[in-house]
C-alpha cells in the first residue's frame, strides 16, 4: 500500500506536520508526493522486487484527474488502486469529495470506467453516517472499501498558545481511533455484508486485527504502528495464526463478521 500520489508534484506543508498526542499521532502532511510520472518509475521498480501485490493510493482534484492518475498507476504495474477521497487536511480533494455522496459517485464511476484493476475506495470517518458513503461508493463500482482514514483533530501548545501543526488541523491516527474505526467497519458490514472491507485505524497488535475481522473486515492496513515497530506486520501475522490455532479456525474468512452473529 503506497502513500497517496497525485497528478503533479506537491511539496506538502511546512513543519510541524506530525505531532504525537495521547495514544496516537495528528498529522497534516499536505499530501506531499513527487507526482505520478516519477511515481510510475518507482512502481515499475517496486514490481521487480515485491512478492506481494502493490496497491497504489491516488488522489486528484476532479473525477478526470483521479482517473488519469489511476490509469498511469495501473499502466506502470499497480495491481489495484485505492482512492483517497478522505484526506482531512487538503482542500478541494480528499474529504471534500468523500463526504459528498454525489461527488464520490462521480469519481468512483469515472475511475471504474478507466481502469480494469480492482478499485478500492478509502472512506472518511468524519461523517454522520458512513454507510451512506459506503453505499454511494459501492453503487458507483467500488470493489472494496478501506475503512477508515484519520479523524479530524487539533493539538495546541500551552507555551506558544498556538496550534502546533503548521496547517492548524490534521488527522488523528493510532490506538485512539481504533474503537471509532471498528464501529465504522461494524456499521458497513451490518448494512452491506457482501462488500469486502479493509479495516484500518489504530491496529497495533494481533488482538486489534482479530477485532476488525470479527467486525466485518477481511483484510487490514497498518499505519501509525509502523512508526514504533517496523516488524509489526510479521508480529501481527504470527499472533493471528496462533489465535486461530488456539480457536481451531482454519481461515480468517471463517471469522469475518462473526461479531454480528446472535
Ligand atoms: C503520517 C501519516 C501520513 C498519512 N498519509 C496518508 C496518505 O497519503 N493517504 C491516505 O489515504 N492515508 C494516509 N494516512 C492515513 C493512514 O493511511 C490511516 O488511514 C490512518 O493513519 C489510520 O490508521 P493507523 O491508526 O494504523 O495509522 C496517513 C497517516 C499518517 C499518520
Cell numbers linked to 171:
488527522
Give nearest CA residue, ligand 1 atom 17. 223
Residue-number span of the structural domain to which 128 is assigned: 1-10+28-147
Supply 50's cell numbers. Answer: 515485491
Residue 102 maps to a domain: yes
Cα–ligand 1 centroid distance for 64 (angstroms): 24
User: In this prediction, what percent of the chain has a pLDDT beyond 70?
Assistant: 99
Q: Mean pLDDT score of the chain, rounded to an integer?
A: 96
Quick check: is 99 in a domain? yes
Q: What is the pTM of this model?
A: 0.97
CA–CA dist 175, 31 (Å, integer): 22
Establish if 96 belongs to a structural domain.
yes
User: H helices within the chain, ranges in order?
Assistant: 36-49, 63-76, 95-98, 101-114, 130-139, 178-191, 206-215, 224-228, 232-246
Q: Which residues line ligand 1 (CB under 6 A)?
A: 3-4, 18, 25, 27, 29, 57, 84, 122, 149-150, 173-174, 177, 200-203, 222-225
Burial class (CB in 10 A: 0-12, 13-18, 19+), 203: buried
Please give the torsion angle defined by the CA atoms of residues 119, 170, 131 and 262, in that order, rounded to the nearest 10 degrees. 100
Closest residue by Cα to residue 123 from 143, 97, 102, 161 = 97
With the most atoms of ligand 1 within 8 angstroms of its CB, the residue from 130, 149, 229 to mutate is 149
Average pLDDT over residues 21-45: 97
Residues 196, 180: Cα–Cα separation, whole Å: 19
Counting residues of the chain whose pLDDT is more than 90, the rounded percentage is 94
Domain assignment present for residue 201? The answer is no
* Residue 207: pLDDT band with limits 50, 70, 90: very high
Q: What is the pLDDT of residues 37-76, one digit of tens each?
A: 999 999 999 999 999 999 999 999 999 999 999 999 999 9
SS (H, E, C) 163-192: ECCCCCEEEEECHHHHHHHHHHHHHHHHHC
Cell triple for residue 19? Answer: 505531532
Question: Looking at ligand 1, which atom is closest to the CA of residue 4?
Answer: 8
State the total domains in the chain: 1
Q: What is the pLDDT of residue 90?
A: 72
Ligand 1 atom at minimal distance to the Cα of residue 3? 8
Cell numbers standing for residue 251 = 481461515
Residues noted as catalytic: 87
199 close to 221: Cβ distance less than 8 angstroms: yes
Q: Is residue 227 part of a domain?
A: no
CATH for 114:
3.20.20.70
Q: What atom in ligand 1 is closest to the CA of residue 86?
A: 11
How many angstroms separate the alpha carbon of residue 112 from the centre of ligand 1? 23
Q: What is the DSSP string of 41-82?
A: HHHHHHHHH-SS--EEEE--SSHHHHHHHHHHHHHHT-SEEE
136 CA to middle of ligand 1, Å?
23
Question: Does the pLDDT of residue 94 top 90, yes or no?
Answer: no
In a domain, 208, yes or no: no
Residue 216 belongs to some domain of the structure = no
CA angle, 78 as apex, 77 and 81 as ends, to 5°? 155
- Quote the CA–CA distance of 101 and 133 in Å, as a whole number: 6
Angle at 99 between CA 97 and CA 103, to 5 degrees: 40
For residue 70, is it within any domain? yes
CA 14–ligand 1 middle distance (angstroms): 18
Amino acid at each position: 500500500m503506497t502513500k497517496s500520489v497525485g497528478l503533479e508534484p506537491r511539496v506538502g506543508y511546512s513543519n510541524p506536520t506530525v505531532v504525537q498526542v495521547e495514544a496516537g499521532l495528528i498529522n497534516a502532511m499536505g499530501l506531499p508526493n513527487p507526482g505520478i510520472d516519477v511515481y510510475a518509475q518507482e512502481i515499475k521498480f517496486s514490481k521487480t522486487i515485491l512478492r506481494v501485490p502493490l496497491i497504489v493510493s491516488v488522489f486528484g482534484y476532479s473525477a478526470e484527474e483521479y482517473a488519469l492518475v489511476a490509469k498511469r498507476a495501473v499502466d506502470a504495474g499497480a495491481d489495484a488502486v485505492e482512492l483517497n477521497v478522505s484526506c482531512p487536511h487538503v482542500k478541494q480533494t480528499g474529504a471534500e469529495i468523500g463526504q459528498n455522496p454525489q461527488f464520490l459517485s462521480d469519481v468512483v464511476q469515472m475511475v471504474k470506467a478507466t481502469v480494469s484493476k480492482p478499485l478500492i475506495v478509502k472512506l472518511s470517518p468524519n461523517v454522520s453516517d458512513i454507510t451512506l458513503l459506503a453505499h454511494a461508493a459501492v453503487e458507483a463500482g467500488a470493489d472494496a472499501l478501506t475503512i477508515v482514514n484519520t479523524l479530524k483533530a487539533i493539538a495546541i501548545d500551552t507555551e506558544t498558545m498556538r496550534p502546533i501543526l503548521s496547517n492548524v488541523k490534521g488527522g488523528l491516527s493510532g490506538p485512539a481511533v481504533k474503537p471509532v474505526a471498528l464501529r465504522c467497519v461494524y456499521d458497513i458490514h451490518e448494512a452491506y455484508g457482501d462488500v469486502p472491507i479493509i479495516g484500518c485505524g489504530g491496529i497495533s497488535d494481533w488482538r486489534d486485527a482479530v477485532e476488525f475481522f470479527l467486525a466485518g473486515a477481511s483484510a487490514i492496513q497498518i499505519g501509525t504502528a509502523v512508526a514504533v515497530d517496523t516488524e509489526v506486520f510479521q508480529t501481527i501475522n504470527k499472533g493471528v495464526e496462533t489465535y486461530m490455532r488456539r480457536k481451531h479456525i482454519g481461515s480468517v474468512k471463517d471469522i469475518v463478521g462473526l461479531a454480528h452473529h446472535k
